[in-house]
Amino acid sequence: MSNSTSTQIQLVNRPTGWPSHDDFRTATIEYGDLEPGQVRVRNEFVSVDPYMRGRMNDTRSYVAPFALGETITGGAVGRVIESESGALPVGTPVLHQHGWSDVIQADAETFRPVPDIEGLPLSVHLHILGMTGLTAYVGLTAIAGMEEGDTVFVSGAAGAVGTAVGQIAKQLGASRVIGSAGSAKKVALLTKKYGYDEAFNYKEVNVREQLPVSAPDGVDVYFDNVGGDHLEAALDAMNDGGRIALCGAISGYNSTDRTPGPDNMANIITRGLKLEGFTLANYLHHAPAFREKMTKWFAEGKIAYDETVVDGIENTVDAFLDMMRGANTGKMLVRI
Amino acid sequence: MSNSTSTQIQLVNRPTGWPSHDDFRTATIEYGDLEPGQVRVRNEFVSVDPYMRGRMNDTRSYVAPFALGETITGGAVGRVIESESGALPVGTPVLHQHGWSDVIQADAETFRPVPDIEGLPLSVHLHILGMTGLTAYVGLTAIAGMEEGDTVFVSGAAGAVGTAVGQIAKQLGASRVIGSAGSAKKVALLTKKYGYDEAFNYKEVNVREQLPVSAPDGVDVYFDNVGGDHLEAALDAMNDGGRIALCGAISGYNSTDRTPGPDNMANIITRGLKLEGFTLANYLHHAPAFREKMTKWFAEGKIAYDETVVDGIENTVDAFLDMMRGANTGKMLVRI
């Protein structure tokens, strides 16, 4: 038993537009002895995710805003280094939502043990086997009702969710999966590593002109991580009865203006389309089915992933901003 | 057996923006003797509907465009005046889709017999007991999944579909039904005759500011007949998990510009909303359940309706244009 110092990143201002370093502070927390039922965890990886930008605003949402002056919460993985809980002995790898810190001390019930998988870092529980993989699975299945033979279009396809969506869609029998990404390198990865049948660089084409070329038979399911011009292009390309899962709208997250929506909303009526937004918190009951399928695909070598890793808790804000700018391929992580 | 002259309204140009009389022609058709299995029907009422504007364009849709040079098809009711079909003897009241004509001659199979209801004109089969009633029912139930206790908002509420939506929502247990319409007279009708709890004149208020006042606890189901500013206002007012049935977007039907969509599409994600467009053709299997319920409510005196009637097949185009401008209360009809 001992005291411990923790470095944590806290939100101090609600950003308008792009967040800056002034919106955050680095706090040093001194933890005392563990109380009964508590554990102390040293994080190995901390997650930075697009949805966190929304939580920095004080707007109504399924997920409550981050509290000002408190540590940014979110996914992280680490190992128990001290324990007053029989359930989580020292050395146990755990997943939790305590967020942007190097060490965290709290009730054992707020941590979930995860398996050590041979040859893989614990970080896979933050993405392909964790929330980002589940987001991709829920969006394709529960929200968009993807069926075998569907043509699937994914925007922001080289991001953590997007790389999972393409691979899961192929495993579930999609006939054709098309992705957009923001660099030639990412586009190449989509087709060579992530099973996309076709991909394009949205910075070099007009998405509305390109999508019907990439999807000559139209799109049945659109998994939207971007919004804006991508959603507009998809509404033009959707087949009758098409389904759109709205997962993110990163193109507008840091906009201070109100951005006009698609100019072709009437297609929703004439083609009988369904658009549905979702926040994973309401779909966690799909996690067991997802884990069973994904663990099997993973073991069969059918699932690839990328990580973009930044070292040091003190660089978490930079990692978050780089991720929002699209600097990452696959999952953006901070390694402690 | 005899020859017969029919006056029919045909589409000769695809309108851009508002249709004009030059886009139509009046054709005189001479029918010869009936062939075996045919009937001749004298129409009593011909329907003009908002969806017909979409069919005047040559754009991809569930419903095929009207053919140039041919009679505008759509709902009509009349009586058999000559018959070579044992199934439909002379005098039988029938509903059909042969459209804008005073007399029509065709295979008996293309007509459906409807009951004469004491004290009511045949025209009720064109609206409250027919397609407009079914549209309201399908939008509320199959599309929006309305549940008891829901707050329901309806735009274009004084139109044929809107007056049905409000009453059906109340019968199905909505806790509060709010409607928008375009005149003080219509607004008064909504609350006095059509069971709306609250209504406002969208020409005299800012819809985005008014809706949260009219719906202080938010909106669970939005039945959209209008699009544009109404859809934007609804997206701001929807409760988490809200459902939007997109039935029409009359605000944009005659626009030649591409109209920007709502500037608050991100709410679809943060509140987990579902938007679904529908065209009735795919939901006709709900007709038996609808007819059973609606006939019962009707017999119990729980359902009111209005008709705005224009006389003479030669005035059909004017009736259509007046309806698009909102001159009607309830169902717009041409009486032959």
Write the pLDDT tens digit of every residue in B261-316.
Answer: 999 998 999 899 999 999 888 899 999 999 999 989 988 989 999 999 999 999 99
Over residues B124-137, the mean pLDDT reads 94
Q: Give the start-end residues of each E strand in chain A.
A: 4-11, 24-31, 38-47, 76-83, 93-96, 103-107, 111-113, 151-154, 176-181, 198-201, 219-224, 238-246, 274-277, 307-311, 331-335
A238 neighbors A268 (Cβ within 8 angstroms): no
pLDDT of residue A328: 86
- CB distance A273–B277 less than 8 Å? yes
Round to whole Å and give the CA distance between B3 and B82. 11
Comparing B128-142, B198-212, B245-259, which segment has the lowest mean pLDDT? B245-259
Q: Which of A135-149, A236-250, B34-48, B240-254 has the lowest mean pLDDT?
A: B240-254
Min Cα separation B260/chain A (Å): 4
- What confidence score (pLDDT) does residue B58 get? 85
Distance CA B136, CA B128 (A): 9
Of A259, A263, A272, the CB nearest to B282: A272
CATH number of the structural domain A131-281: 3.40.50.720
Give the ipTM: 0.84
- Chain B hits for A266, CB-CB cut-off 8 Å, are 227, 249, 252
Domain B4-127+305-335 listed as CATH 3.90.180.10 = yes
CATH number of B135-281: 2.40.50.140, 3.40.630.30, 3.40.50.720, 2.40.160.40?
Answer: 3.40.50.720
Segment B211-225 mean pLDDT:
97
Residue A88: is its pLDDT beyond 60? yes
Residues of chain A with CATH 3.90.180.10: 4-127+305-335
Measured CA to CA, the distance from residue B222 to residue B234 in angstroms comes to 7
**B5-37 per-position pLDDT tens digit:** 999 999 999 999 899 999 999 999 999 999 999
> Is there a contact between A268 and B277 if contact means CB atoms under 8 Å apart?
yes
pLDDT of B233: 97
Tokens of B192: 């006095």
Q: What confidence score (pLDDT) does residue B2 get? A: 73
Rounded to the nearest 5 percent, the helix, strand and coil shares of chain B are 30, 30, 40
Please identify among residues 262-281 of chain A the ones whose CB lies closer than 8 Å to any CB of chain B.
262-279
Would you say residue A254 has pLDDT above 80? Answer: no
Q: What are the strands of the beta sheet with A238-246, ordered from one edge? A: A198-201, A176-181, A151-154, A219-224, A238-246, A274-277, B274-277, B238-246, B219-224, B151-154, B176-181, B198-201
Residue A227 is encoded by which pair of tokens? 């919004």
Q: Residue A312: how many CB atoms within 10 A of its CB?
A: 13
Distance from CA of B173 to the nearest CA of A (A): 25
Residue ranges of chain B assigned to CATH 3.40.50.720: 135-281
Residues of A in contact with B260 (CB under 8 A): 260-263
Structure confidence at residue B299 (pLDDT): 85
Tell me the H-state helices in chain B. Answer: 51-55, 131-138, 160-171, 184-192, 207-214, 228-237, 266-270, 287-299, 316-324
B265, B271, B278, B284: best to mutate for the A interface, most A CBs within 10 A:
B265
CA dist., res. A1 & res. A9, Å (int): 25
Altogether, the residues listed in chain A come to a count of 336
**Cβ contact A261–B260 (<8 Å):** yes
Residue tagged 């007009």 (tokens): A206
Let me know: does A88 contact A55? Beta carbons within 8 Å.
no
B307 close to B333: Cβ distance less than 8 angstroms: yes
CB-side neighbour CA atoms (13 Å) of A42: 8
Where do the CATH 3.40.50.720 domains begin and end in chain A?
131-281
Compare B226 and B176 and report the one with higher pLDDT: B176
Q: Maximum distance among all alpha carbons in chain A?
A: 67
For the residues B227-237, what does the mean pLDDT come to?
Answer: 95
Burial class from Cβ neighbours inside 10 Å (0-12, 13-18, 19+) for residue B311 reads: exposed
How near does any CA of chain B get to the CA of A187, in Å?
A: 26
Tell me the pLDDT band of B327, cut-offs 50, 70 and 90: confident
Task: Tell how strand B307-311 and strand B198-201 pair up.
Answer: unpaired
Average pLDDT over residues B199-225: 97
Q: Look up residue A258 and give its two tokens.
A: 């109100």
Provide the pLDDT for residue A61. Answer: 65
Query: Among partner residues A271, A276, A277, which is closest to B62 by beta-carbon distance?
Result: A271
Cβ neighbours around A217 below 10 Å, total? 11
pLDDT level of residue B330 (50, 70, 90 thresholds): confident
The answer on pLDDT for A115 being more than 70 is: yes
Assign B257 a pLDDT band (cuts: 50, 70, 90): low
Q: How far apart are CA B22 and CA A236, in angstroms?
A: 30
Closest residue, chain A, to B270 (C-alpha): A61
**Per-residue pLDDT at B209 exceeds 90:** yes
